[in-house]
Amino acid sequence: AQSVTQLGSHVSVSEGALVLLRCNYSSSVPPYLFWYVQYPNQGLQLLLKYTSAATLVKGINGFEAEFKKSETSFHLTKPSAHMSDAAEYFCAVKGSSNTGKLIFGQGTTLQVKP
Amino acid sequence: EAGVAQSPRYKIIEKRQSVAFWCNPISGHATLYWYQQILGQGPKLLIQFQNNGVVDDSQLPKDRFSAERLKGVDSTLKIQPAKLEDSAVYLCASSWDRGNTGELFFGEGSRLTVL
């Protein structure tokens, strides 16, 4: 069965610093992996997705993630944090069926300090 | 393009009462999902519809939760009777491609507090 684990429920960085949010997955089939972002009082928004093409995936707002099969990881990075990046970030894996079901991690809250 | 619409945004009820949430997906999206997001956890799928048929309801507590999508467009999720542990945000999402790519469009959610 598919699952994801996000390491660290809270991450705090200074504005301009590197952002690194960690995600490890478990999948019995080649995975489809996603990062979603949730701003306060808003719904989830797709940040980027990996669907077995390039292993380095670029998303919106300067975020990118690298798929590493050997490490079963899909960590999210951004070179320079901005105050507007403060939000909750969810890693997700698509279920093995064709139903489109997403299995989410528990989320990581990103705090950006001035 | 209008996004996924949900109502009400907030609802407070007492345990054993009933509540209903409504969702209108993005126009043309045949697939509709209801997720439950408990504080501190990631969203968990409750039910998935393809048009007006149920694709997956394996994690829906059917003794108290029900959902319908009668005309293949908007959907209603009902809880009756509510328990304290049902306090959560109920997220509706839709997709255009039967979910094959996993790209979902979410509404802002309906926050339920059960006292």
B25 near A CB under 8 A = no
Window B:53-82, CB contacts with A under 8 Å:
55-56
In whole angstroms, what is the distance from residue B16 CA to residue B28 CA?
36
Q: Distance of CA A83 to CAs A17, A54, B108, Å?
A: 11, 29, 22
B48 near A CB under 8 A = yes
Test mutation, A6, A41, A44, A57, chain B, max B CBs within 10 A = A44
- Structure tokens given for B27: 């126009």
Q: Is A111 helix (H, G, I), strand (E, B) or coil?
A: strand
The percentage of residues in chain B with a pLDDT greater than 70, rounded to a whole number, is 98
pLDDT number for residue B25: 95
Q: Is the per-residue pLDDT at B30 higher than 80?
A: yes
In whole angstroms, what is the distance from residue A101 CA to residue B10 CA?
26
Nearest to A108 by CA among B42, B66, B54: B42
* Of the partner residues B42, B56, B108, the one whose CB lies closest to the CB of residue A101: B56
Instruction: Categorize the per-residue pLDDT at B72 as very low, low, confident or very high, splitting at 50, 70 and 90.
Output: confident
pLDDT number for residue B97: 75
The percentage of residues in chain A with a pLDDT greater than 70, rounded to a whole number, is 96
Mean pLDDT, chain A, as a whole number?
Answer: 91
Q: Are strands A64-68 and A56-58 parallel, antiparallel or unpaired?
A: antiparallel
In whole angstroms, what is the distance from residue A36 CA to residue A32 CA?
13
Q: Is the per-residue pLDDT at A30 higher than 90?
A: no
Test mutation, B103, B108, B111, chain A, max A CBs within 10 A = B103
In whole angstroms, what is the distance from residue B33 CA to residue A3 CA?
19
Which of the two residues, A42 and A109, has the higher pLDDT score? Answer: A109
pLDDT number for residue B13: 97
Query: Distance, in angstroms, between B78 CA and closest chain A CA?
Result: 20
Token pair 């009462």 is found at B17
Average pLDDT of span B93-104: 82
The chain B residue lying nearest A103, using CA atoms, is B44
Which of the two residues, A43 and B91, has the higher pLDDT score? Answer: B91
In whole angstroms, what is the distance from residue A82 CA to residue B107 CA?
25
In whole angstroms, what is the distance from residue A86 CA to residue B32 CA?
28
> Which residue blocks in chain B are alpha helix, DSSP H?
none
Q: Quick one: A30 exposed, middle or buried, by C-beta within 10 A (0-12, 13-18, 19+)?
A: exposed
Test mutation, B45, B51, B98, chain A, max A CBs within 10 A = B45
Is the Cβ–Cβ distance between B60 and B48 less than 8 Å?
A: no
pLDDT number for residue A98: 66
Token pair 């509404």 is found at B107
A61-107 per-position pLDDT tens digit: 999 999 999 999 999 999 999 999 999 999 999 876 666 789 999 99
The chain A residue lying nearest B107, using CA atoms, is A43
A40 near B CB under 8 A = no
The chain B residue lying nearest A4, using CA atoms, is B42
Q: Which residues contact A14 (CB under 8 A, 6 or more apart)?
A: A81, A112, A113, A114
